[in-house]
Amino acid sequence: MGMKVRCFSSFTFSYLNRARVLFHSLKRFAPHWTRVALITDKPPPGLEFPREDDPFDEIVYAEDLPIPNFASWIFKHDVIEACTAVKGPFSADACSTGADAVVYLDPDTCLFAPLDPVERILESSSILLTPHIAAPEREFYAILDNEMGSLRTGTYNLGFCAFRTDGEGARFARWWADRLLAFCYDDIPAGLFVDQRWCDLVPAIFDGVAILRDPGYNVASWNLSNRRVSMRPDGSFAINGVPLRFWHFTKLGEIADVMTKRYAKDNFQVYEIWNWYRRQVHEATDPEVPAGYWAYDRYRNGARIERSHRLAYRADPKLQLAYPDPFAAGASSFFESQVLDAAG
Amino acid sequence: MTIAESLAAAVDEEFYRFTYGDLSPGETAAAHYEREGWRDLRDPNPWFSTRAYVERYPDVERAGIAPLFHYLQTGRGEGRVAEPSQHAEAFRTRLTGGRRFIDAAHAEAAAAIELEFDAEFYLATYPDVAAALLDPLQHFVEQGWREGRDPNAFFSTKGYAEVNPDVVQAGMNPFHHYLVAGRAEGRPVRPDVGFRYEILAQLPTVAQRLAWTPPIPKWQVGDAGQLRRATGMMIRSGRRRLHVSVSHDDYTATVGGLQLSLLREADTFECRGVDHVHLYPARPLLFTDSDDADPITGVLVNGLRAGLFPASTVAEVAAGVADKPGEWTQRSLSIHSALGHNTPALVKILRAFRLERGFFWVHDFASACAGHNLLRNDVEFCGAPPPESVACTICTYGQRRRQQVADHRRLFESVGLTVVAPARVTLETWIAVNALPIEATLVHPHCRLVPREAPPPDVRERPLRIGYLGLPNPHKGWPIFRELVFRFGREHGIEFHHLGKAPQRGLPIVFTEVDAVKERPDAMAAAVEDLELDAVVIWSMCAETFCLVAYEAVAGGAMVVAPEKRGNLTQMVRDTGQGLVLDDERALFDFFESGRVFELARDKREVRYFSLEYSKMTADLVGTQWE
């Protein structure tokens, strides 16, 4: 285990339960990696955090990242955009921490086997991406869901990426940070889908890019049409015969269930894995975290921030200059201007 | 819950008063039923016939308790059958007098589905509808489908809604839609996810399984004096030999293949003049009891129930009995199951009886995992991979496994045990999945097939008869059998049969009640022969340690259809040649679809018949040493 790896996930307290499950799996299967929780949020009142048994080596709050005018910047983002955008500055920063490589995993992923091959790939490559789908689809709905979905939202799933902290890897991290700080929005008509569409450009503009088509990585409901899960006699899972490395449990809930059933069909091992994950998340859930909680979701007076307010603020540099703290709610605040606009 | 509370909830005041007009105004129906009504074979409510229940289960009458209470308390859990009261129809007619719909759309839906709606299935499946005396069709049309209830055994309301979301959006009753449009359009009727999906969706945790078995009420627990009186009988007998057996339940109270085997073992010892003590947990848990250091233990002395006692009391009394001079000079031990026992407490009892060696029977794989049939999450045979594996991590039994293995280790380290398996393949599997210290191993089958003369062949033309034997459990392959019935049950010249204790309603299956008892252990084989079953499908999910039903099927002249890699089930089909092993479920359905299944018909093959020669279990193993 020669490589020093800094592994991180980006989440809010609403996803703390999922992150705990992921980080416990990292502790089990990649114990030599440094595990960093990147949190774009503030702890809800009454929450004991971190707990003694929390598997995080380091906790970094987004507001402590080198992001100029943080309040103004984050106001331009909804929760998904914000949590995605901070991956950029964190990654660029991680290149100067002494680590040899950085691995990002979404909080709703979970390891089922060691990720040693990732380290081996990074010995000869600088950047590692996994595509959403790694084989052509055949069925009509799968083409609509998956191939056309990839065309809209990006070829590579950025629930996972890995890069070296030197050479092309470091160049990539710097570029990625710059783009995400400025353009990490869910704006499909404009060709943007948070960080993912940006990475479509990566094989074109950087050398040393490895595309990992191994079906054992990033297994998710949407790509089960081409992946079959089985249990091996030694008690490990296999995907199309190769080891299952990590699963991406996107959208825990009814939508995921329908999607999972559509593609998994009678591959019951899929449901075993999902059911286990649901139980783990349930057990890792703190009742002190209110449903849908996000500290940056409200003005300081408690009013919820409308998406239209964020879009207006994002679109108009004059507003950003006029209201450097858009969360404020008193007289002559951005909030007041929006409410008056709506009334007037 | 007390008897009175239980009955108060289940006895139907209105029904009882309507049916039996002689109640005094001051007495409730429940009180009357408990005091004397059941003795007069009165029915407590529309869905329970007292007469049918006691006629079917004479042990209930002997026990002297209200049959409805017995059914609610234990009968239901044991799979016993409650039949509707013969007065139910009169009562129901008086109340409803025909159905009336307020909403015209409901009336239209009812008319459209009436022919394929199975009222009997609906009432049996949803006892709340039956209890409320509602008209089943009206209930389904007005609200049942919205609650996700099914109109018959074939149609899944929720399943159809899930794969046809437009029907839900249109606010239409899925069954109605299916009959008037969906069927003709060739729409899917349910998600194509397989029966294991349902098992997983309802999979209980170990904690929930433990909670199924309530603690033993204090008044049922006896003291040392009571146990001494019972064991005194042995002391007075003057017998010089003692056999102690241990299992997971009271084999005189529950009927099953294993229990019948234990009865044979016990009877043989009795005939040979051997004192016999049987130990079983009062709470029949599915796991070793590591939570209670002094669990309540049931004791049978020479076949009679001595009572329930704390394990420590049993050890104390056993030590007193064993210390008496001039008593037993030969002692033997058989452990059929340690489930439900606290092994340190059990070891103390065995030590008190001065038992240092014995036989450990492999009836399951409980010594290797808390999931005693090694079905990961109850859906796939796992072969007991390393406990730290991902398979064990995601398995509902994974966490309890270490404890259960440690409990067995303690037992094996404290008593010198010879492992006895009923089949060679079972012994091989047991050795592969356990790492316990053992003295020796033996293979001793529960029964042998002895060829006998065939009755004259039957030449009548009839459909092919395919059977399922025993309780309709998933791990014994009921869902696969049901799927065969779904696909091939209404045509194709195949008649499906279920031989067991209770029928499954709503399916085109011919049910025959077969209850093996001590006096007639081969009732199942005889029924297979009488019904002229051509083949029996035994699609077990687990590795069978023996699989008595396979022998019963073969003895009665049927062929067995079984999957690969199911322990002695697969092995016995290969060894006897009386059946067919198929690779997987796909191969099974192909076998039916292609019509090859008809080659198993009795008139297309040589039919062989066998008698079943049963072993006497441990009595076969220790008897010769003593002669």
Among residues B282, B297, B136, the alpha carbon closest in space to that of B216 is found at B282
Q: Are residues B427 and B530 in the same domain?
A: no
Does the pLDDT of residue B542 top 80, yes or no? yes
Between B75 and A125, name the one with better pLDDT: A125
Phi, psi of B474 (to 5 degrees): -60, -45
For residue B325, the model assigns a pLDDT of 59
Burial B527-558 (b: 16+ CB within 10 A, else e): bbbebbbbbbbbbbbbbbbbbbbbbbbbbbbb
**Count, residues in chain A:** 344
CATH number at residue B498: 3.40.50.2000
What are the start-end ranges of the E strands in chain A? 5-11, 34-39, 58-61, 101-105, 109-111, 127-131, 156-164, 186-187, 192-193, 209-211, 219-220, 229-231, 237-239, 242-243, 246-248
DSSP state of B614: E
Q: Is the pLDDT at B627 greater than 70, yes or no?
A: no
Whether A255 has its CB under 8 Å from any CB of chain B: the answer is no
At B98 the pLDDT is 56
Q: Average per-residue pLDDT in chain A?
A: 93
Average pLDDT along chain B: 90
Same domain, B13 and B84: yes
CB A22 within 8 A of CB A9: yes
Assess if residue B293 is contained within a domain: yes
Mean pLDDT of A31-46: 96
End of a domain among B444, B479, B497? Answer: B444
The predicted model gives B116-145 an average pLDDT of 89
Question: How close B169 comes to chain A (CA, Å)?
Answer: 16
Q: Which residue of A has its CA nearest to B397?
A: A276
Measure in Å the smallest separation between the Cα of B336 and chain A Cα atoms: 28
- Segment 203-232 of chain A within 8 Å of chain B by CB: 231
CB contact under 8 A, B389 and A112: no
Q: Quick one: tokens of B580?
A: 């067919």
B110 is in which domain, residue-wise? Answer: 100-192
Neighboring chain B residues of A262 at a CB cutoff of 8 Å? 191
pLDDT reading at B576 higher than 90: yes
- B222 and B312 fall within a common domain: yes
Closest chain A C-alpha to B387 CA, distance in angstroms: 9
Task: Say if the Cβ atoms of B380 and A264 lie within 8 Å.
Answer: no
Residues B346 and B369: their CA atoms lie apart, in Å, by: 19
State mean pLDDT over B576-600. Answer: 96
Quick one: pLDDT band at residue B154, thresholds 50, 70, 90? confident
A24, containing H or E segment = helix A16-29
Domain boundary among B444, B462, B492: B444
Contact B197 A268 (CB under 8 A): yes
Do B168 and B288 belong to one domain?
A: no
* Whether B577 and B436 share a structural domain: no
For residue A234, give the nearest of B377, B385, B393 by CB distance. Answer: B385
Residue B94 within any structural domain of the chain: no
Nearest CA distance, A20 vs chain B (angstrom): 16
In a domain, residue B109? The reply is yes
Residues B59 and B518 sit within 8 Å (Cβ to Cβ): no
pLDDT over 60 (residue A128): yes
pLDDT band at A142 (very low <50, low <70, confident <90, very high): confident
Q: Judge if B79 and B107 occupy the same domain.
A: no
- Residue B38, pLDDT above cutoff 60: yes
Least confident of A255-264, A319-328, B608-617: A255-264
Residue B481 in any domain: the answer is yes
The reply to whether B33 falls in a domain is yes
pLDDT tens-digit series, residues B454-502: 777 666 788 999 999 999 999 999 999 999 998 898 776 899 999 999 8
CA distance A159 to chain B (A): 22
Domain end point (choices B89, B109, B129) = B89
Question: Is B194 in Cβ contact with A231 (below 8 Å)?
Answer: no
Q: Among B196, B197, B390, whose Cβ lies nearest the Cβ of A112?
A: B390
Contacts of B203 in chain A (CB under 8 A): 275
Residue A186: the pLDDT is 92
Residue A258 at interface with chain B, using a CB cutoff of 8 Å:
yes
Q: What is the DSSP string of B518-583?
A: TTBTTHHHHHHHHTT-SEEE---SS-BS--HHHHHHHHTTPEEEEESS-BHHHHHHHHH--EEEES
Rounded distance between C-alpha atoms, residue B317 and residue B222, angstroms: 12
CA A236/CA B297 separation, integer angstroms: 39
- Decide if A269 and B380 are in contact by the 8 Å CB cutoff: yes
Q: Encoding tokens for residue B136?
A: 């089943």
Over residues B13-31, mean pLDDT: 84
The DSSP secondary structure of A38-51, one letter per residue, reads: EE-S-PPTT---S-
Whether A3 has a pLDDT exceeding 50, the answer reads yes
Kindly determine whether residue B200 and residue A268, on different chains, have CB atoms separated by under 8 Å.
Answer: yes
The count of CB pairs under 8 A between chains A and B is: 65
Give pLDDT, residue B289.
92
Q: What is the pLDDT of residue B287?
A: 95
Residues B63 and B111 in one domain: no
Give me the mean pLDDT over the B395-403 stretch: 96
Nearest CB among A113, A265, A271 relative to B192 is that of A265
Report how many domains make up chain B.
Answer: 4
Query: Minimal Cα distance from A264: which residue of B?
Result: B193
Whole-angstrom distance between the N-terminal and C-terminal Cα of chain B? Answer: 52
Give CA–CA dist B551/B611, Å, rounded.
10
Q: Is residue B507 part of a domain?
A: yes
Q: So what's the pLDDT on residue B95? A: 47
Q: How far is B589 from A136, CA to CA, in rounded Å?
A: 30
Q: How confident is the model at residue B321 (pLDDT cuts 50, 70, 90)?
A: confident
Question: Which of A28, A224, A225, A231 best tests the B interface by mutation, with the highest count of B CBs <10 A?
Answer: A231
The single-letter code of the amino acid at B420 is V
Instruction: Give B200's contacts in chain A (Cβ within 8 Å).
Output: 268, 271-272, 275
Query: Between vectors from CA A214 to CA A208 and to CA A220, what angle results, nearest 5°?
Result: 115
Distance (Å) from the C-alpha of residue B191 to the closest C-alpha of chain A? 7
Give the CA distances from residue B341 to residues B208, B261, B319, in Å, rounded to whole numbers and listed in that order: 18, 20, 19
Of the two residues A318 and B131, the one the predictor is more confident about is A318
Say yes or no: B122 and B71 in one domain. Answer: no
Chain B nearest C-alpha distance from A17 (Å) = 17
* Mean pLDDT on B245-252: 94
Chain A residues in contact with B193 by the CB 8 A cut-off are 261, 264-266, 268, 271
Least confidently predicted of A242-256, B61-75, B99-113: B99-113
Domain membership of residue B561 (yes or no) is yes
Is residue B323 in a domain? yes
User: With an 8 Å Cβ cutoff, are A266 and B192 in contact?
Assistant: yes
Residue A2 pLDDT greater than 90, yes or no: no
Structure-block tokens of residue B347: 């070891």
Same domain, B353 and B494: no
Quote the pLDDT of residue A54: 96
| Average pLDDT estimate for B106-112 | 85
Answer yes or no: do A231 and B376 touch at CB < 8 A.
yes
Do residue B114 and residue B56 come from a single domain? no
Mean pLDDT of B103-130: 87
Interchain contact, B201 vs A276, CB within 8 Å: no
Same domain (yes/no): B107, B230: no
* Same domain, residue pair B391 and B347: yes
Residue B2, pLDDT above cutoff 80: no
Span A206-262, pLDDT tens digits:
999 999 999 999 999 888 988 999 999 999 999 999 999 999 998 877 778 888 998
The alpha-carbon gap from B367 to the nearest alpha carbon of chain A, in Å, equals 18
Q: B96 pLDDT band (50/70/90 cuts)?
A: very low
Q: In whole angstroms, what is the distance from residue B31 CA to residue B5 CA?
A: 10
